[in-house]
């Protein structure tokens, strides 16, 4: 589903990714670790095209991502961030709905999917709350619902529990794992947390010297 070969990326003089190769298969769960500043977020940003320029090859379902319109990538890839990144002036439901608006989904379908997803992540009754009225864990649940609205085949999660306390973080990871099992999507999870115990089936990789190393 994702095939990366010979990926190189510099920020000025700083070489971040060097000749990186990586494969993510259908339904696979991969945990990416590595030192701060090693390039983990950069790799995810390249995948969802927040960073448009790079040297090398990134294929998504066999197609080079440089040739794919952004809305097509958004349909294939869901993304969750450490800082949730919800729009403050929009309600939980509106934040989730946005993901369907950018990919051109019909309004009726957006509404029914968004409500079902908020329900699924445990936010029934809070559809009309604004982000500042929600706890960190609840905001991350909204972000998860938003990431799943387009039923992506791949979920990218960049430190999704970094801003949550230990217990809430564990709940969030268990929710992500359950949703992954239910949907069959692949998941690439960047995290510092020690998850081996809670996700024993995960493939563990790390970013070292600009490359991916299997662990
Ligand atoms: N926009 C940018 N301009 C210049 N340098 C950048 C930019 N973004 C990231 N970097 C640098 O690229 C390197 C990799 O950053 P990246 O955020 O990918 O690391 P990371 O592994 O995700 O780190 P962390 O675990 O701390 O989030 C770092 O040295 C960082 O300072």
Q: For a pLDDT cut of 90, what percent of the chain falls above it? A: 87
Q: What is the ipTM of this complex?
A: 0.97
Q: What are the pLDDT tens digits along the chain (215 aa)?
A: 999 999 999 999 999 999 999 999 999 999 999 999 999 999 999 999 999 999 999 999 999 999 999 999 999 999 999 999 999 999 999 999 999 999 999 999 999 999 999 999 999 999 999 999 999 999 999 999 999 999 999 999 999 998 899 889 888 999 999 999 999 999 999 987 776 667 888 999 999 999 999 98
* CA–CA distance, 152 with 129 (Å, rounded to integer): 25
* CA–CA distance, 36 with 197 (Å, rounded to integer): 22
All structural domains of the chain, each given as residue ranges with its CATH number in brackets, are: 2-87+152-214 (3.40.50.300)
Please tell me the distance between residue 208's alpha carbon and the centre of ligand 1 in angstroms: 13
Cβ of 37 less than 6 Å from ligand 1? yes
Please tell me the distance between residue 128's alpha carbon and the centre of ligand 1 in angstroms: 35
Ligand 1 atom nearest residue 45's Cα: 18
Q: What pTM does this model have?
A: 0.94
Cβ of 11 less than 6 Å from ligand 1? yes
Cβ of 186 less than 6 Å from ligand 1? no
Q: What is the pLDDT of residue 200?
A: 80
Question: How confident is the model over 85-141, as pLDDT tens digits?
Answer: 999 999 999 999 999 999 999 999 999 999 999 999 999 999 999 999 999 999 999
The DSSP bridge partners found for residue 4 are 22, 58
């Amino acid at each position: 589903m994702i095939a990366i070969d010979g990926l190189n990326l510099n920020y000025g003089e700083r070489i971040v990714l060097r000749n990186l190769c990586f494969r993510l298969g259908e339904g696979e769960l991969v945990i990416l670790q590595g030192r701060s500043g090693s390039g983990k977020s950069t790799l995810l940003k390249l995948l969802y095209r927040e960073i448009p320029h790079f040297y090398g090859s990134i294929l998504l379902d066999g197609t080079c991502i440089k040739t794919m319109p952004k809305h097509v990538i958004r349909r294939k890839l869901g993304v969750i961030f450490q800082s949730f990144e919800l729009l403050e002036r929009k309600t939980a439901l509106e934040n989730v709905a946005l993901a369907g608006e950018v990919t051109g989904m019909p309004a009726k379908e957006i509404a029914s999917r968004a409500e079902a997803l908020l329900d699924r992540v445990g936010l029934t009754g809070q559809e009309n709350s604004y982000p500042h009225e929600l706890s960190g864990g609840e905001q991350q649940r909204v972000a998860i619902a938003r990431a799943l609205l387009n039923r992506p085949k791949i979920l990218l999660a960049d430190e999704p529990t970094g801003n949550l306390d230990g217990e809430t973080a564990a709940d969030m990871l268990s929710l992500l794992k359950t949703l992954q099992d239910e949907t069959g999507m692949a998941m690439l999870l960047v995290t510092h947390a020690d998850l081996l115990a809670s996700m024993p089936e995960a493939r563990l990789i790390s970013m070292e010297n600009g490359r991916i190393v299997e662990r």
